Structure 1
Amino acid sequence: MRYLALFRGINVGGRNIVKMKELKELFLELGFSDVRSYIQSGNLLFSSDQAISEFSETVTAAFTERFGFSVPIIYRTKDELFSLIENLPFTAEEILEAEMEETNVEHLYVYFSSSEMVPQELSEIGERAIVKSKDIYYLTDRSIRFSKLTPKLNKLTDELTARNWKTVIKLAALLKE
């Protein structure tokens, strides 16, 4: 089965530096196959015959031992990622409207969690977030750096990591290969 591992908080702001080559090597040493990374922000694709529950603790321990710190690692199967994309709750019109406000920033994100959250919708002026199971769809009409909503999202669970929609789409394409 094809999986995606999303590492929270590595290679951000000069902290928790992990070379993707070394992360790929770790996964190969742990017996995973078809290991591939995408950009330096902690996205790793791999194959395994095991279920997430069978390998997640081993990966966490090996990562901590190898790199000297721990970070949340959030997993998705290929099918889960495709389903996430298919179930985008925002319309094309809503996305276009947000993009017109500030054209040089990303507007659509997904926050991934390893635990279930209460389904709900949250909003602030110019921002909307829709929580579904273990994912949060987030749409903003300005830079995420100015968000009043993301601090509230981060309180929903301890293990959230965000990726912009373009990255989510690229990761899905890489999982198809």
Structure 2
Amino acid sequence: MRYVALLRGVNVGGKNKLPMALLRNALEKTPFYGVTTYIQSGNILFSSDLKSAQCADIISELLKSEFDLAVPVMVKEQEEISKTLKASPFKTRTIENSKFMSFGFLNESPVQEKVNTTEEFSNDMETFKIIDDVIYFYCGVGFGKTKMTNAWFEKKLGMTSTMRNYNTTLKLTEL
């Protein structure tokens, strides 16, 4: 099975430094093969015969033991990432301007009541839909100006999320 591991909060704003070359080398000692990383923000692609939860546990333990990092790790099948792009409720807006589109990958599907109260904050320029365990977020004001940050979504939903922009998400389906 081909997987994508999404690490939350590495190499962002000078915190949680994690050189991808060192990470790739460390992952070679695991039951993973075909390991590659994409950009410096904690994207790992690999193959394994293990289940996704087992892979996440292995990566979490490796991050703690080798790099003294305790960061959330989400492992998704690469095909799931591809389906996420195809399922976007904002395809038209994405085609027009992909730089305003991002995806928040959640550690599980949120409680519907929290989804309903969170979606009340959506407006024409900052609109999102939460489907299963993904936040589809179109941010026409620009991600540097929005108050709807990854931390905002985590607080509103009461769970872990990690965001990837459209271009990164697309690349994770192609590697």
Pairing partner for 1:113 from 100, 106, 117: 106
1:4 corresponds to: 4
1:13 corresponds to: 13
Over the residues paired in the alignment, what is the CA RMSD in angstroms? Answer: 1.9
**Residues 95 and 82 of structure 1: CA distance in aligned 2, closer, same or farther (over 3 Å):** closer
Whole-angstrom CA distance in 1 between matches of 2:7 and 2:145: 23
Question: What amino acid is the match of 2:100?
Answer: H
Structure 1 unaligned runs (5+)? 100-104
- Alignment of structure 1 residues 91-110 onto 2, 5 Å: 91-92=91-92, 94-95=93-94, 99=97, 106-110=99-103
1:71 corresponds to: 71
Q: Secondary structure at the match of 2:144?
A: helix
Question: What amino acid is the match of 1:169?
Answer: L
Whole-angstrom CA distance in 1 between matches of 2:94 and 2:99: 11
**Residues 146 and 62 of structure 1: CA distance in aligned 2, closer, same or farther (over 3 Å):** same
Q: Secondary structure at the match of 1:124?
A: coil
Is residue 118–residue 133 contact of structure 1 (8 Å, CA) maintained in 2?
Answer: no
Is residue 126–residue 137 contact of structure 2 (8 Å, CA) maintained in 1?
Answer: yes
2:169 corresponds to: 168
**Alpha-carbon distance, 1:15 to partner:** 1.1
Identity of aligned residues (%): 31
Is residue 154–residue 160 contact of structure 1 (8 Å, CA) maintained in 2?
Answer: yes
> TM (normalized to structure 2)?
0.87
2:123 corresponds to: 124
Structure 2 unaligned runs (5+)? none
Size of the aligned set, in residue pairs, is 167
Question: What amino acid is the match of 2:135?
Answer: I
Is residue 130–residue 136 contact of structure 1 (8 Å, CA) maintained in 2?
Answer: yes
Question: What amino acid is the match of 1:117?
Answer: P
- Runs of 4+ in structure 1 off by over 6 angstroms are none
**Residues 96 and 36 of structure 1: CA distance in aligned 2, closer, same or farther (over 3 Å):** closer
**Alpha-carbon distance, 1:96 to partner:** 5.9
Whole-angstrom CA distance in 2 between matches of 1:138 and 1:124: 11
